[in-house]
Each structure stands twice: as C-alpha cells, then as structure tokens.
Structure 1
Amino acid sequence: MALRNRRTGAGRNTEREETKKPVGGVRRAQVITTYGVGGLVAIEDQSYIVSGLDGWRRARPSEVVYEPRLQHWLGVAKFHLPPADEPSSGYGIKIRLFPEIYSCSECKQLQEFRKFGSPAGKNLCGACEKPLVPSRFVIACENGHIDDFPYFDWVHKKTEFIEGVKHGLSLHSTGRTASLRSVVVKCLCGKSASLEGAFGGRAMEALGIKCRGRRPWLGRGSEQPGCTAIPRTLQRGSSATWFPINRTALSIPPWSETLQQRLNPRYGEFRVLVEHGAPDDMILKVIEQTGILEDSRFTAEDILEAVRRRKELEARSLPDSDESAGFEPANDLRREEYAKLYDGTVHVDRGEDFECVPPASAPSAALPYGVEKSMLVKRLREVRALHSFTRVHAPDPAATDLRGAALSLEKVGWLPAIEISGEGVFLAIDQERLREWETRPGPVSRAERIRRHHIAHLRGQVHDGKPTDDVKSPVTPRYVLLHTLAHILINEWTLEAGYPAAALRERLYVANDMAGVLIYTATSDSEGSLGGVVAQGEHKRLYDSFESALARAGWCSQDPPCIESEARGTGSLNLAACHACVLLAETSCEAQNLFLDRALIVGTPEDPSIGFFSTANALR
C-alpha cells in the first residue's frame, strides 16, 4: 500500500497535493495494527502522520468488505480494505509531515520545517545543505490529541515575554551522558534548559501548558479547543503515540452463507424498497432485473427473505450496558459466535465462510479432564476493523471508557478493515466442574488479587473528575483460567503443529453461561490453511497435547520466583506468568498478556487443588 505525502502551504487553510510520487509503503494489515489513521510513520529521514479517512479514495468493489454483525455493532454500512495501489496509479493513503519542528545537524537551528527553506522534495537545511532531523519529542494526551513539543515554553519557563528581544532556538547535545540532561535547548535571548524532567507526568502542567486539541491527521482547522486532559511528553518513535482500538467478529451463519454473500453488494438498494413499503411483486421484479440471480441456485424469494433477515439484524438494539460493550469476551457478538461454535454446522456449501464440525474420533476416545467438547473449525473468516485509537495509555481490554480519537472529520459510513481466512479448534470447558471449582477459596483468592490490582489500575486512568466508585473489573477465576489455558495451548501447538507462535491467536468466550476458547490461525497467508491446527482438535491428539502442555506449565525455568510471585506484569495484573512459561507474542493475545496465572491451571506446590486441571482434581 503506497503512502503519499500531502504538505500544507504556509499560512493557508487549504491543502494541495504537491506530488503523486509515493514516499513509502506498508502492508495492508499494518494500517489496522501499526500505522493506522493518526499514527506516526518514519520514512527514510522524515516523519509523517497518517491522514484521516476523509482523504481516502472511493473503494473499488473488490476492496469492500462486509460483515453484517460487526457493521451493525459499529454503526457503519461497510468496511474498506486499505488501498493497495501501484505507484503509477496516483492513489494511496495520504500522509502529512509531523512533527513540524525539525533541527539541523550542522547549524543546530530548531524551528518549523518550512522555515529552513529546504529544496522541494528534499530534507535539507537551506543555509548549510545538511540533513534535517525531525524532533525526537512530541506531546500527546489521552483524548488522542498530539502536538509538537513546546520547546520555546520549556526554555523560557513562564517568563514574561519582552518586546524587542530577539528569539531563536537551537538544539545541542553535550554528549556527557546518555540522559536527557545532555540534550540542551538554547535561545538567542540567553536562556537555555536541558530536557531533563520533560517526561514527568505533570511536567507540562507545571509550566501551564495545556492541550491545544490538535489533530494534525485531520488537517488544519480540526482542533478541539477546551481539552482538559494533561499533555504528556513522548518519544516520537514510542508505541505510546498510537494504540489501535480494533473490533473483530467471526462470520457465522446465516451471514457467512453463500446467499448473504451474494446479497451484500446489492443490499442497500433492496433495503430502500422494503423500507418504503414497496409491494413484494415489485421488489421481486427489481431483484430479477439486477442480475443477482445469474449463475445462482437462489430465487428472488430467497433474496427477499435474506433482505428481511438483514433488516431484523439492523433493528436490534445495541447493548445499553457499558460493561457488556467494554468486555469483549462477554458481549453479544461473542455470545452468538459461542452458540455456533458449540453446536457446529450441519450442511455447508462450498465457498461459505464458516464450517465447524465435531472430530471424526471414535466416541470412546477420551477428552482431557475438564473439557466438555472439542470442535474442529475447518473454515473461518474474521474481520478486523480499526474503530479508533488512543495515545499515552494502551486501551485496557476491559475498560468501558476508551476515549477513542476520531478517524475522520465527517462521518464517512465505513471503517478500514482486513479479513482473514483460516482454521481453528474450539474447546468448551465443563461448566458443572467449573462452577464448583471457581467457588473454592484458593482460586477466588488469586483472582481477587488480580482484580484488586486491575481496579486500582483503572482508577489511576480515570480523569475529568469522574467518580472512581463505579470502576469495575471483569476479572474472575473463570476468565483467568481460560485466558491462561489458551496461552499454554498456543505454546504447545506451536511445537506440535509446526506453526510460528505469532501465526496463532486466541478468542475467549467468558460469562456466567459461557466458558470456551477458540485457537485459530491469525495470518492471511498460506500458513492459515495448512490443516495443522484443526488436527489438534481430534480427541487423541488433543488429549496428548493437553498432557504435554500441563506438564510444561507445571514447571517454569524461573521457578520458584515465578510460581510464588505476588504480582507481575503491567499494573501487577499477572501472578504466576512470565516469558519463560505462558506469555505470548502480542499479536496472539487479545488482552495484552495480562490477567494470567498458571497456578489456576496446575496449582501451587503448597495447594495443587487450586489448579482446575491439576492431577489432584482429576482424581477426585
């Protein structure tokens, strides 16, 4: 996918594209996960910010993605694949120069890029013809706003501005240490200051610097004045400058069926007829005239029935509960998927997006202790959409107030997304045994420890004077158990099936009436359909891999400190979990490697019964 520079003329409110020559490229998936709208991308010796959806070209029919359940959940009509254009086409995603402050390695001047007089298409100081360097630092707030670091204010420290005094900044490095104390900003007025302390949480507030509400990815005039969040200093290349908020859904019947796939491109025009009360005979005639029935075994009546079914989906109200909306493993999308994964499919046509069947193993083949059902998901399709993004703090997987930033100035009716086809194995845990286990003092105590840390973590991110008594955490023994189980199985199947760890992904289904784990291929290339994962769901292989995974989880090279840990991970949100035992690649985990404790899987040396899958429980 090509990235194309869009620069803004000095002192103008309108923008013009100076060149159609691409300055770089990224993969489509990276537009959703790494370099999405509002994200910073370094290309050669310059830094840019990815522009908003307003500047994207109209998607070709082949680039439109449909997933009715997710469309309804997010309130959009469709999804668009990020454009993947050849350089000669003149299309791509627009990017803007950011930060705007640069420095010269020779004359040390520190000022806006446009003031250096760089030749067109180059990144050189007009005076000494040496390469310019984009500012290493920016400031951002939790509302998604981002701005250049206020070097002038930092140097002058609230001093009163005096008329007639000449100002001009320069950036110097003493080289004495690797700390910010060696980075010094000087002004022609005689003042100077190192950048030591600039990263303090209240450093900008102490100087009286407020967030200006800048949104450079949306262009000039998009500022949101009045932002009350405290800006924080960040390194330009830090991951904290952009955290994506992705929303995902699996295609499940009836929306994964061939009939709905055929309807998708035409649904909008048929829906209008139904909404305006057109007679059925008229609608059926229009359906026949569109050509949608060519080379199809479906009738016009089938299409009309599918339209009405889609209308019923759109008429559903979204959940009012913030808790349900914020905690994905328990929301309505997951509940619908859980039911289809648990029951499986009976008849599947070629070309459909979902096929889930029980293993072909003999009924006498034993399932591992605590596992109620194993289902082979031979075919699945996942749609991942970029819903929004945050800065400074990563979005908590259970938070209800994500403070997401806008992807466009005006509503465009769609979101960027990618679709992934693959395979997987769904495991349902025996809920009768689970309910008895999750009421025991041991599991309750360990999960409660994580839950208390999580509540404290969430309260630390509450702003704008909101009450902290309403902060809730979804952490339960059941959630920690299923999450940790998914991790140890992914680690085991990486060895058994020959997949790289980053090629597998978890999807959790956790509520009072749900206890399931889907492990599936998470890449869109050939590794996603080799059959190696599905084979792990056969009873005999599942039993063997379970035994091996539990044996590995029972001992960690970091023990005894790991199993005896009182708190680990970001915000102390893990217990017995480290990189030597259960942590995964970030792309494989839907909860940022948090809420993990292998003691709930295998128990502790002092009390093995804490572990749901421990031998002590299996022999009861």
Structure 2
Amino acid sequence: MVSRSVTPLRRAHVIAPFGPGALLLTRDRVSAVVCAPATWLKSLPKRPSGSVPVLDELTINDTNLQAATGVARFVMPWPSGSNPKKDRDWLLPAARFPLVEACSNPKCFRLIYRSPADASPGRCNACTPPSSKRRSWPTFQTALVLACPAGHLDDIDWVGWLHALPGSSCRAPDVRYRVSDVADRPYLNCESCSRSAQFDPNTTFRCTGARPWLPHSEPETCTHCARPLERTSTAAYYAWQLSSLTIPLADADNPALLHALTENATLRTLSRLTRRTEVIEKIVETAERLGIHTDAAEVTRHLKAIQSGRVSVPRHVQELRTRELNALLSSDHPRRITARLPDLIVEPQDIGKFQHSRLGRCLAAVSLVPRLRETRVCVGFCRVEPIAPDPEIGYAQLWGKPRPKDFAKDSPDDWLPGYQVFGEGILLLLEPVAVARWAGRVAGDSRLAAAARAAPPGPESQRLRWLLAHTLAHLVMRAAAPHAGYPLPSLRERIFAVDERTGFLVYTASGDLHGTLGGLVELGTPGQLSDILEAAVDAASWCATDPVCGEDAPGPRGSGSAPGACHHCLLVPETSCEAFNRGLDRAVLNGHDDIPGFLG
C-alpha cells in the first residue's frame, strides 16, 4: 500500500467521487486505488480500555438507510487535526494502480511491473548501467486500465495484446510503450520480434475479475467483457450512493435530547441497555453534562418514541421517498426556539402567491426548507456504464464477501462508509391532474420512453413523471445558482415520483464554505421564485447548439440517454444529479415535433 504518500481528502469525497475502488492521484502524482473499508480498521488508532470504541465514536445512525442497505450502522470518515503524528494513525489506505509503468527514456520506453506495496518513485535501472554515476530515468504509469461493468479493475496485458495480433510469434517478448498524440492510443513495439502496432481503445478483453481495492484478494469469476478506459475518465468509477433526509419525530418536545440519544456515542450505548432505573438516571446525568436539561420521565418518553420509529422503517427507496415527501409537505416541523436547532425545518407556502409564471400555475405546493440534514452512504460502485445501485452486490464489492442476513454482536464488518451534512432547500410539487394528463398524451413515445429508462423501476406513467420532474429540477438548479450565492456544483436534486405525486427538491448540502452561505431559501419569496421559474422555462425553449441538441436521438442502447440535453442547456455537474445526467429532455416542457409539452 502507498504508505509514504499522504494526500489530504475532504471527508465527503470518501463517499464520492473517491470512495472505495476509485482511482485518485496522490500528492506525489501517483495514481492509486482507494482500498476497501476492511483495511480502514487496521489504520484506526487504539483506544484505552473502558473508553468508547473508535467505530462507535464515528458511527452515524439513519434507521431508514440501515434498513435499505441491510447493515447495522454507518461510519463517517475520521477528520484530520493539527497533530501530524496523530494524523498518521488515521490514514485511509490506498494501493498503487496501475502497476504497469514505462520508462521515460526516449531510447528505452521499456515496460516495468511494480508492486502495489512499493511507494517509492519509479525508476528504470535497465537503461542505466549500475556503474554509471548518472541517475536512472523515472518511469510513468500507463494511461489506460481495464474496467468492467461489475466494477473489476486490472492492468492491460500490453504484451499479450501486441502478440495476439495475426502473424505475430515471439518467444521472448520485450515490449516498449510510447505515448502518442491521443492518450488512449499508445504505440507498442517488441524489440525481440519487431512487431509494432498502435493500440486500439475499442478492443474488448475478457475480464480477469481482479479487485485491487481488496489487497491480497483472489480474482473473481466474471462473465463481462472488460474495456480499456483512461484512468482519469469519469466512466472509470460511478459511486453507488444512497441518501436520506432526517425526519425528526414530530411529537419530540426536546429536539436536543432526541438528537443526543441517537447521535452521542455514550448515550447511544446506554439507550441500547435495558430500561432499568439506574440506566435512565445515568442517561439523565450524561445529558446534563452535555448541557441538556431533562428528567427521567422525558428520557423514557423519548426512548419509547425512538423505538416506535425504528419498528416501522421503510424497506425500499420509494417508500423512503414517500415519507420524505410527506414530511416536506407537512407543517409538523416548524421553527422552534430550543437549545439546539432541529434536523428539519419546513415552511409550507401559500400556493396562490406563485401564479405569476407559466410553471407556477402548474404547481400544487411549495415548501421552503430552511434546515435539513442529509445522510449519504456509499453502498458500492460500478464502472463503464452507470447502473442502479444494488446494496447487496455493493456490500460484496466493498468487503469481498456476501452480506450476512444478521450480523454478530460487535461485528467489525457491519457498516458502510457514510457522511452527514446540513443544508437548505426549496420543494416544488406539480399539479397531479395536469401531470397525469400530460403523461397520458405522451405515453408510447419512443424518444421519451428511451430517456425515461434512467428512472427507478416502475410503470411507464411513473417513469414519465420522473422524467418531467428530473428535467425541471435541472432547469431550476441552473436558473437559481447565479442568484442563490452558491456555485452550481454545490446544489443537488431530489426527485419525487411517488403515489400520484410528482415534484423535486432543489437543495444544498455541501458541508463546506460553498454549502453554507445561506441564500437558497431567500429565493422562495413569491416574486423571486416566479422569476426563477420563468427563467427556467425560457431556458428550455432554446439551446445554443440547436437544432443539433433539440433533434438529438436516444443512444443505440436506449439505457436512459438524454436526447434534447447538453452542457449548454440542461446538464449539471454529476455530483448534483441523481442519475449521472441521464434521463433528460427539454421536449417534456415545451414539446418537440409530435411530442406535446407539459406547458403546451
């Protein structure tokens, strides 16, 4: 593992885009793959006996996501402090990859194979005699790697590819690697048999099943074909993220106590014990030390409320989205004057004040969300093409073994990487009758059906409603960003196409300077929001690349492509989009040829 190259990384980036299995460039310009969570445990510092275990201290709870992912808890990446010696105990391991390097000497270009545990700068000793006083030439990592849709990653067999071409035969291959003007088309030649060729990046290989993020692991059997990809390509890693918004108990009269019982490591441990009088008294004593004034009766009442909330957890993502939408539309989470701000504040608005724009007249509800808390979890990843997250497959990817049905007590592998952050947002809910009427008119259209395949599984009408909400969310994000004080990458979307309701939440939850400036909810006043909605509709009516953009056809595979969408009009940074910029089409709003638009 790369033990001598320490590179700072934002805590949120350990979930995405640099989660387990991702390729990153270290401070020393070495390409490395982030190792699996099992290796993180070995790097955690030891704690004195009797203190709170490290994993318990870093644990974050979200009962909804825990049920959806099948794990017992999530662990937030540990922060680095100001003590360099202590920080070295908290390193997140990474392994050198790719392992194949080439000499930079123009007279050599020899291929060299490195060890993943070798952290030293690459040097070629073959072209510099040992007796020479001149320093040996440095080596550089090859630009391409082999990736398959199942997430496997391996070096390209350059020697095998060159000698697999027709008319090639060599007993002692000595292959040289030279870069070309195109990064994915290097030149290869063999000094032994004089065979030479320029690499074809469209070549497909049989997947070897290699998993370099799991050190010392054996390759898996894989039936997929592997494709060459540039190691810096976004297609080399698509993080599988699941997220949920914290929905506080509406009847909790002490939000600070409720938060402490679920988030504080000591109180969380005590609350799992039996409800004996001495345990309740210990909880009250600990809460008082934290500055939370309470008594035994209030603690008992809140523990019962927490337990009742855990009994009825959603079992799939759509059910979770239904609960979130219900909370974002309700008046059960107002502003409160308490010792601690609640995790969710919702302010439903009078919809009659937003009828001054074309889109505003199609709204059923508007809610301002001055405060929300989001939990994000890395449940796995894929490569080459983005596909829907599968927590069971993802657990096997991250841990190198199948996920058990039930974890043993104090199991070290009962968790996934997670992160929590606060933010604010605006929820827009579309008028259900108008949406249903539009979905019925466009049902069966091949262009929209292809784009809607990026939506979660469901009937055609639900996928079309998702496509409409997704396209509108992108338009509103792009229109709101210049006025909200946030850069576009700090905004995110949350699409709701549940029951017969269709809507979206535009929010910010970046956890840093760009995500806490506080200007999104201020745009929710009737005048400002109407102007933004009108600007979003205008942006959908034309594009700088029309007619090419507007007449774009779905991709040959039809796997949720984005016809009528490009970087000039609809696309946003992939960190802001739930579907990796798939499932978009401006035609859903204003129409195109035979496709009727939602606004006519």
Match of 2:414 in 1: 413
Report if the CA contact (8 A) 1:155-1:191 is conserved.
Answer: no
The DSSP-based 3-state class of the residue aligned with 1:407 is: helix
The Cα of 1:38 is off from its aligned counterpart by 1.3
User: Following the alignment from structure 1 to structure 2, what is the Cα–Cα distance between the partners of residues 478 and 75?
Assistant: 29
User: Following the alignment from structure 2 to structure 1, what is the Cα–Cα distance between the partners of residues 288 and 461?
Assistant: 46
Output one character per residue of 1:19-77: Cα deviation in whole Å (capped at 9) or x when no partner: 5x443222222222122211112233422111111222444776443333223322333
Structure 1 residues 596, 111: closer, same or farther in 2, change over 3 A? same
Normalising by structure 2, we get a TM-score of 0.80
Structure 1 residues 400, 541: closer, same or farther in 2, change over 3 A? same
Match of 1:576 in 2: 564
Q: Could you tell me which of 362, 366, 381 is aligned with 2:373?
A: 381
Structure 1 residues 551, 38: closer, same or farther in 2, change over 3 A? closer
The DSSP-based 3-state class of the residue aligned with 2:218 is: coil
Instruction: Output aligned runs, 1:70-219, within 5 Å.
Output: 70-86=65-81, 87-89=84-86, 90=88, 91-106=90-105, 107-113=108-114, 121-127=120-126, 128=128, 129-157=136-164, 167-173=172-178, 178=182, 183-186=187-190, 188=192, 190=193, 192-197=195-200, 199-200=202-203, 203-204=204-205, 210-219=206-215
Output one character per residue of 1:231-260: Cα deviation in whole Å (capped at 9) or x when no partner: 322222222222110111111212994333
Structure 1 residues 454, 79: closer, same or farther in 2, change over 3 A? same
User: Following the alignment from structure 2 to structure 1, what is the Cα–Cα distance between the partners of residues 438 and 570?
Assistant: 22
The Cα of 1:405 is off from its aligned counterpart by 5.6
Report if the CA contact (8 A) 2:38-2:413 is conserved.
Answer: yes
User: Following the alignment from structure 1 to structure 2, what is the Cα–Cα distance between the partners of residues 262 and 174?
Assistant: 57
Output one character per residue of 1:436-481: Cα deviation in whole Å (capped at 9) or x when no partner: 33222xx3244x53324666x99xxxxxxxxxxx998786331121
Report if the CA contact (8 A) 1:370-1:429 is conserved.
Answer: yes
| Superposition RMSD in Å | 3.7
Structure 1 residues 183, 454: closer, same or farther in 2, change over 3 A? farther
After TM superposition, the structure 1 stretch with the greater mean CA deviation from structure 2, 146-155 or 564-573, is: 564-573
The yes-or-no answer on 1:513 pairing with 2:500 is yes
Report if the CA contact (8 A) 2:287-2:293 is conserved.
Answer: no
Match of 2:469 in 1: 482
User: Following the alignment from structure 1 to structure 2, what is the Cα–Cα distance between the partners of residues 430 and 413?
Assistant: 43
Report if the CA contact (8 A) 1:142-1:229 is conserved.
Answer: yes
Structure 1 residues 225, 589: closer, same or farther in 2, change over 3 A? closer
Structure 1 residues 305, 596: closer, same or farther in 2, change over 3 A? same
The Cα of 1:230 is off from its aligned counterpart by 2.4
Report if the CA contact (8 A) 1:144-1:405 is conserved.
Answer: no
The DSSP-based 3-state class of the residue aligned with 1:93 is: coil
**Residue type of the alignment partner of 2:247:** I
User: Following the alignment from structure 1 to structure 2, what is the Cα–Cα distance between the partners of residues 400 and 419?
Assistant: 19
After TM superposition, the structure 1 stretch with the greater mean CA deviation from structure 2, 364-373 or 532-541, is: 364-373
Give me the identity figure in percent.
Answer: 28
User: Following the alignment from structure 1 to structure 2, what is the Cα–Cα distance between the partners of residues 428 and 569?
Assistant: 33
Instruction: Output aligned runs, 1:318-337, within 5 Å.
Output: 319=315, 325=316, 328=317, 331-337=318-324
User: Following the alignment from structure 1 to structure 2, what is the Cα–Cα distance between the partners of residues 369 and 180?
Assistant: 51
User: Following the alignment from structure 1 to structure 2, what is the Cα–Cα distance between the partners of residues 365 and 42?
Assistant: 48
Q: Which runs of 5+ in 2 are unaligned?
A: 45-53, 129-135, 402-411
The yes-or-no answer on 1:296 pairing with 2:292 is yes
Output one character per residue of 1:138-196: Cα deviation in whole Å (capped at 9) or x when no partner: 2222222212212232233299999xx96353324386x748666114264x2635353
User: Following the alignment from structure 1 to structure 2, what is the Cα–Cα distance between the partners of residues 158 and 405?
Assistant: 36
Report if the CA contact (8 A) 1:64-1:78 is conserved.
Answer: yes
Structure 1 residues 567, 96: closer, same or farther in 2, change over 3 A? closer
The Cα of 1:538 is off from its aligned counterpart by 2.0
Structure 1 residues 300, 195: closer, same or farther in 2, change over 3 A? farther
The Cα of 1:586 is off from its aligned counterpart by 1.9
The yes-or-no answer on 1:358 pairing with 2:361 is no
Match of 1:50 in 2: 34
Structure 1 residues 50, 365: closer, same or farther in 2, change over 3 A? closer
Structure 1 residues 605, 313: closer, same or farther in 2, change over 3 A? same
The DSSP-based 3-state class of the residue aligned with 1:439 is: helix
The yes-or-no answer on 1:226 pairing with 2:218 is no
The yes-or-no answer on 1:586 pairing with 2:599 is no
Instruction: Output aligned runs, 1:216-615, within 5 Å.
Output: 216-220=212-216, 222-254=217-249, 257-264=255-262, 265-266=265-266, 268-270=268-270, 272-274=272-274, 280-281=276-277, 283-288=279-284, 290=286, 295-316=291-312, 319=315, 325=316, 328=317, 331-344=318-331, 345-346=333-334, 348=336, 349=338, 350-359=340-349, 366=355, 368-396=360-388, 406-409=397-400, 412-440=413-441, 443-446=442-445, 448-452=446-450, 476-567=463-554, 571=558, 573-604=561-592, 610-614=596-600
After TM superposition, the structure 1 stretch with the greater mean CA deviation from structure 2, 265-274 or 47-56, is: 265-274
User: Following the alignment from structure 2 to structure 1, what is the Cα–Cα distance between the partners of residues 478 and 513?
Assistant: 20
